[in-house]
Amino acid sequence: MLKIYGLKNCDTCRAARKWLTAKGVEHEFFDLRGISLDAETIHHWLAQVGLDTLLNKRGTTWRKLDDGDKQALDDAKAVQLMVTHPALIKRPVFCRDGVISVGFARNENDRKHMLDG
């Protein structure tokens, strides 16, 4: 089954879930603020997609961080920040059989990756 990780109030996450439902794709949603996502899971995601894809530097949560938290950012430090502040994870994160993809494409043709597998 396709698992989706995101925020329940995120417009992009809601659009993705609505689209998947319309396509008849069975999926399960996990609100990042409602679960305790562990560092091991985030490390696994990071290994697949990289820091630039997984870390959301455009949101309010990033902007509110202390400058010291933003400097000398390596994978280990980023993982700890994402564990502490789950809104720093770009969303939605789609997971099927341990393989992930991040983000919901605006273009219908680019959404096919969610239906593969």
Q: At what angle do helices 75-84 and 39-49 cross, to 10 degrees?
A: 130
Catalytic hit among 4, 5, 7, 10: 10
Using CA atoms, how far apart are residues 33 and 84, in angstroms rounded to an integer?
10
DSSP state of 10: -
User: Is 10 a known active-site residue?
Assistant: yes
How many residues are present in the chain? 117
DSSP state of 107: S
Active-site amino acid positions: 10
